[in-house]
Amino acid sequence: MTTLDGLRGIAVLLVLWYHVWEISWKGAPSWLEFLPETGFVGVPLFFFLSGFVITYPFARWQWGGAARPSWREFAWRRFIKIFPSYALSIAIAYSIGYAATQRGAASPLQDVVVHLLFVHTWFTQSFGSINGVLWTLAVEVEFYAIFPLLWWCFRRAPWVTLAAMVFTALLWRNELAACCYHARFASWEENLPGYVDIFACGMAVCYVYVRWGSALAQNARRRAVATLAAVGGFACLWRLLQNLYAFRGHDQWAGVWQIENRTLLGLAFGVIALGSLTGSQWWGRIIANPVLTFFATISYNLYLYHQLIARELLWHHLPPAATGDPHDDPDWQNAYTWIAIAATTAQAALFTYAFERPLLALRGHSRRREAQRSTRNIAG
């Protein structure tokens, strides 16, 4: 599954580039100009990958003959992966004063409570407070919360469940545009119902891969076709992002464009993922290269802190600019961009290997101890 790690690396780099570009205004070559300004599509790619990864062990049990996964283990893994690093990032945002610059109408206590409950996106006064990137964690955790119900439906009627999820997302986005375009569309469109079609695409690819993945990758000819499909998926995604970029003059352009096109993004992700998973080995090595897999490994902490670090660098004049407005200084733009990327990458690596990874290993130690006790009991 290292192929998915490569896609996760692409997702976090797109988001990183987007937020650093927002601050530096450093442009890209004309043929890549659209990428930094549309880099926020890395977030739907994260959601797509979550739909796949969360479904995978259950799909392997249902249709692949693997052992039945434990819901207790599912809950623990989601908690230990998400919550400690998330709570630490909130504490750091307050301790350095960053959260105070992101205040909404809510009090600090209200902000912290709704964030720790992962419901902050449902209130206009707390959407974007503390640390603006945290809205995606609310969407993720809410998906985890409803996944047992989704799985109950999915294992009985996969395509009906997926169609219902897509219909729900399309209805949600269109109805919000009709009723609340000038009020709550921009924030409520970013809640879980507006993304369930992206999660559905991830679940659909997981289902196809578990049921027919080995057949799709059975011989060199089929692997070549799958590789061509993955390349075609990237080409479709490329065109979708160019079309999104061309729409940027529209009011609330990012959200409006995604009303109908977010599902198309999910389908493009799906073609890329399935083609890469069942394609030629050389293609898999390109997608899951060491650079992308490294960024996939540190992606969670990179995502949590990259915007915070980038803005702190700007506010502390690091690096200093030669002109009053640093955006008029190309040397500053270049230096700032690379310093921001290097600083947030170093921080993410430190937090991943010194904090996140030891926590993720706790359950593994617990399982080994349980296995050893079971072995002793059997021997006794």
Average confidence (pLDDT) over 61-74: 96
Percent over 90 (pLDDT), the chain? 88
- Find the farthest-apart pair of alpha carbons in the chain and give their distance in angstroms, rounded: 78
Residue recorded with tokens 């101890």: 369
Are 122 and 113 in contact by the 8 Å Cβ rule? The answer is no
Overall number of domains in the chain: 1
Tell me the C-alpha to C-alpha distance, in Å, between residue 279 and each of 218, 224, 236, 276, 284.
Answer: 10, 6, 18, 5, 7
Residue 269 lies in a domain: yes
If one counts every other C-beta atom within 10 angstroms of the C-beta of residue 329, the result is 17
Q: Provide the sign of the torsion angle of the four alpha carbons 360, 366, 372, 375, taken in this order.
A: negative
Average confidence (pLDDT) over 61-69: 96
CA distance 226 to 132: 38
Of the candidate ranges 59-73, 149-163, 207-221, 360-374, the one whose mean pLDDT is the lowest: 360-374
CA distance 129 to 100: 9
Average confidence (pLDDT) over 158-179: 98
Query: Which pTM was predicted?
Result: 0.95
Average confidence (pLDDT) over 270-287: 97
Are 310 and 20 in contact by the 8 Å Cβ rule? The answer is yes
Which structure tokens are listed for 230? 């993955």
Residue 118 lies in a domain: yes
Residue recorded with tokens 């503390």: 130
CA distance 280 to 219: 10
Residue 97 lies in a domain: yes
pLDDT in the model for residue 366? 47
Residue 377 lies in a domain: no
Residue 342 lies in a domain: yes
Residue 370 lies in a domain: no
Residue 303 lies in a domain: yes
Q: How many residues does the chain have?
A: 380
Residue 107 lies in a domain: yes
Instruction: Please give the residue range of the domain that contains residue 171.
Output: 2-362
If one counts every other C-beta atom within 10 angstroms of the C-beta of residue 144, the result is 17
pLDDT of 378 higher than 80: no
**277-299 CB burial, b ≥16 within 10 A, e <16:** bbbbeebbebbbeeebbebbbbb
pLDDT in the model for residue 367? 54
Query: How far, rounded to the nearest angstrom, does the alpha carbon of residue 264 sit from its chain's CA centroid?
Result: 17
| CB-count burial class (<10 Å; 0-12, 13-18, 19+) for 254 | middle
pLDDT tens digits, 129-166 = 999 999 999 999 999 999 999 999 999 999 999 999 99
pLDDT in the model for residue 376? 39
Tell me the C-alpha to C-alpha distance, in Å, between residue 81 and each of 76, 78, 87, 177, 352.
Answer: 8, 5, 11, 35, 11
CA distance 150 to 22: 37
Are 203 and 164 in contact by the 8 Å Cβ rule? The answer is no
CA distance 378 to 375: 5
CA distance 223 to 9: 23
